[in-house]
Chains A and B, each alone.
Chain A
């Protein structure tokens, strides 16, 4: 104790000594004092010089020195690394995309896509106004910080969210009213915007006007079409013959007919491809239906408990990945495997050609690894839904649950029951699921415990 006190005393003395030398009166002294001319100073510079320098430094640190560059689209570097594209091939893809789809500030789309240019204009670009009372740049205002300017689900906020924001580029959407392989309809996108996705970080934008929601849905479609075209272009390099010398043909037949048209047609076909939902019987006996649904839930036909768990808590299968994360995971495995393999090879007994190839392989692996670290989010598992909470991402209407069971969830491991589980059975399962949050040891009633949260 005495040692401590003595040490503290010495500390104090040291500080006092420093301070005294600087003209700093402790404990009640002034940092700034008058010099011989009566002006305030700190001994080295006049006060205003110090203050000015500090302010300027602070401003520079927080705002940076130059003007911010215009927003630009990011290439899908993971796919490009996967396809082993060379920089000139990447640039060809970027140029073709710029030709077909423009820039984030000035989007255009080939007419085959059937996108409304006015809506794109409203949604795209920086937040600004060109007509009094109307705000443009909706996407950047509301969506870009999670979904990214390119719609790649890697905006600045994305890394902190679980689940990650949707990456539109593969053109796969989870919550829709069409069959599993089909694209969502415009109404599906509008519904997701309006209601948000309960239980995820996607908020409800119900407070935006209909016109704004429309414009944003159109822009999402635009980004998705652009992303799918980008993937198709990158994959097309593998199909090239040697004569093409690693360059894609830049003619209408290839770009529009072979690449863009299939993508655009898939989106247009979705509008008419709604799942046909047979009516649930109006005089249905709810209790019996729920009991039947419970049988099906636990049975061999629908196999729900295998993933959703024997108590419906979503703990039956916890190591699976959704398609977006699986791509990154598999890429990581490829890189790991490649590194191990390349590490085993010894350049000692390679001839010149093999050594060149080996080095090129190593360079590719190195770049791929950097891309996976900097251009991809760490893969996260996807858990089956906890059905006891009453929170359903795609909507809680019986209709929504029917869609999820019938078509499964595209991009997620949830399989489709279409064709193998008849519609009446799907309705029984839906009724059972809707009763699960209120089901406590099989009894239910107003005097029994309700949803777990309310019991607290």
Chain B
């Protein structure tokens, strides 16, 4: 009976590494893996992920095997005497502190470059779009023809972010009320939107497509559905889309055909000319 218990528990613990490794092998076949990456820096980020995965995976499997072995071998049925009190091995403790510390230090240095690319080396450009998180939507503001945010020709939208591919994108991230987190899974970008702060987020997309924007910081009852949509498209399509949306925004007549709206908007002067006092 006692042997059965030992076998049962040791096999149970063995199933953890076995199933764990199995899910990682089988998962990608069922599309349960990292989302498709369309960004420029994504490969470096994913590379780091794989490196750490392999490193920790090896250690994990090793330690689990040792655990299994000990439970299997040293069970109650095999020894009758009292447990021996052991003071421990000082050497062993030192070894298995130093090695992980060294590994961590290595990782910290190894990833610095990628971190700097994503979080520190901001491209010198004005924002392509301002994204403001608000319960429970993403409010967008494009600078408009004058290239400046905060002027009357800005384009205001909600949840429907369009961006050009193969160009540096700089997003100015703000929050209107509480903490949110601007998460583009397919571009490997995640940045908390902190109320009161203007946080730059930059990346470059390499492929076209329509992907999700999700909120990654609990912000209230609607956090689960605070989703947006980002569309990456070539520059000409992006410009055309901007023009069309701007014409809709400046509409002075109930919606007619797109052509008339665009032409009407182009004909009307901008709300203000640059640098003219009121």
Contacts and interface: CB of A to CB of B under 8 A. Distances in A.
Does chain A touch chain B in the assembled complex, meaning CB atoms less than 8 Å apart?
yes
Interface of A: 145, 157, 177, 195-196, 198, 201, 203-204, 206-207, 274, 277, 279-280, 282, 284, 286-287, 290, 396-399, 402, 427, 431, 434-435, 438-439, 442-447, 450-451, 454, 456
A450 B227 contact: no
Nearest to A442: B278
Contacts of B83: none
B149, B252, B275, B276 interface centre (most CB from chain A within 10 Å): B252
Given A198-B139, A438-B272, A444-B272, 10 more contacts: A206-B160, A284-B268, A286-B272, A287-B278, A399-B254, A442-B278, A444-B277, A445-B272, A450-B151, A454-B150
Contacts, number: 98
B46 interface: no
B100 interface: no
Contacts of A204: 137, 158-159
The 4 closest A-B pairs by CB, nearest first: A450-B150, A454-B150, A204-B158, A445-B275
B148 A398 contact: no
A207 B229 contact: yes
B158 A195 contact: yes
A449 to B, nearest CB: 9
A91 B49 CA distance: 64
A277 B150 contact: no
B274 to A, nearest CB: 6
Contact of A435 (B146, B148, B152, B277): B152
B248 interface: yes
Contacts of A279: 252-253
B152 A438 contact: yes
Nearest to A275: B254
18 contacts: A157-B221, A198-B139, A207-B159, A280-B268, A287-B278, A396-B156, A397-B248, A397-B249, A397-B252, A398-B250, A402-B252, A431-B271, A435-B271, A439-B278, A444-B276, A445-B272, A445-B274, A451-B150
A97 B160 CA distance: 40
Contacts of A427: 252
A443 to B, nearest CB: 5
Interface residues of B, number: 39
Given A195-B158, A439-B278, A454 B149 contact: yes
B251 interface: yes
Interface of B: 135-137, 139, 146, 148-152, 156, 158-160, 196, 221-222, 227-229, 248-254, 264, 267-272, 274-278
A398 B246 CA distance: 12
Contacts of B148: 446, 450
A177 B254 contact: yes
Contacts of B156: 396
Nearest to A145: B221
B277 A443 contact: yes
Nearest to A160: B221
Contacts of A443: 277-278
A300 to B, nearest CB: 23
A282 B267 CA distance: 7
Contact of A287 (B137, B146, B276): B276
B278 A286 contact: no
Nearest to A431: B271
Contacts of B149: 450, 454
Contacts of A282: 264, 267-268
Contacts of A290: 278
Contacts of A206: 158-160
B151 A438 contact: yes
A277 B254 CA distance: 8
Contacts of B272: 286, 435, 438, 444-445
B158 A399 contact: no
A399 B278 contact: no
A203 B136 contact: yes
B141 to A, nearest CB: 10
A399 B251 contact: yes
A204 B158 CA distance: 7
A218 B267 CA distance: 37
Given A177-B254, A207-B227, A445-B277, A396 B158 contact: no
Contacts of A435: 152, 271-272, 278
A203 B222 contact: yes
Nearest to B132: A453
B200 to A, nearest CB: 15
Contact of A396 (B151, B221, B228, B249): B249
Contacts of B252: 277, 279-280, 397-399, 402, 427
Contacts of B248: 397
Contact of A446 (B146, B158, B196, B250): B146
B146, B159, B222, B275 interface centre (most CB from chain A within 10 Å): B159
A196 B136 CA distance: 11
A222 B111 CA distance: 58
Nearest to A280: B252
B253 A277 contact: yes
A450 B272 CA distance: 13
